[in-house]
Amino acid sequence: MRKLFSILILCSFLLSGFAIEARTSKKESIGSFWTKFKTAVMKNDKQALSDMAKYPLSMPYGVRSVKNKADFINRYNQIFDGQLKGFPVNTAKKCFASAKPEKEEGSSRYYVACNDVVLFYFTSTKGVWKLSGVDNINE
């Protein structure tokens, strides 16, 4: 009986180790996330992008945050192109076509800068990358 109990305990430890390894191996790199994110922007895939955002999504000073997926879809143009009006690169598509995420100094988050003024921030929570904010450093 003791042998059976010991074997069961050992098996449960081994199985829990596999479960932990499976969860940690699902961590997404910023590069693979960026590829999916950029592709969704190029296709104007609002639904996919709303799934890749963290809520509430912070917006520049004076612009209310995006509360949820429905709000994201309704405000899609404001989120991606509203802050870029009047700049040489005036759409997220144009900016993201050649942009690559850069790591923010002293932080774990990444950003993409459009016209050196509008920043799109990305953070990872439990290995899942999300768009976490938009900022216009001129405001």
Confidence category of residue 139, pLDDT binned at 50, 70, 90 = confident
- Encode the chain in three state secondary structure: CHHHHHHHHHHHHHHHHHHHHHHHCCCCCHHHHHHHHHHHHHCCCHHHHHHCEEEEEECCCCCCCECCHHHHHHCHHHHHCHHHCCCCCCCHHHHHHHCCCEECCCCCCEEEEECCCEEEEEEEECCEEEEEEEEECCC
Model confidence pLDDT, tens digit, residues 79-102: 999 999 999 999 999 999 999 999
Confidence category of residue 27, pLDDT binned at 50, 70, 90 = confident
Give residue limits of the domains in the chain. 28-136
The pLDDT value given to residue 2: 53
CATH numeric code, 28-136: 3.10.450
The pLDDT value given to residue 52: 98
Say yes or no to pLDDT of 40 above 60. yes
- What span, in angstroms and rounded, lies between the C-alpha atoms of 12 and 92? 49
Q: Can you tell me the mean pLDDT for 34-52?
A: 98
Average pLDDT, the chain: 87
Enter the pTM of the model. 0.80
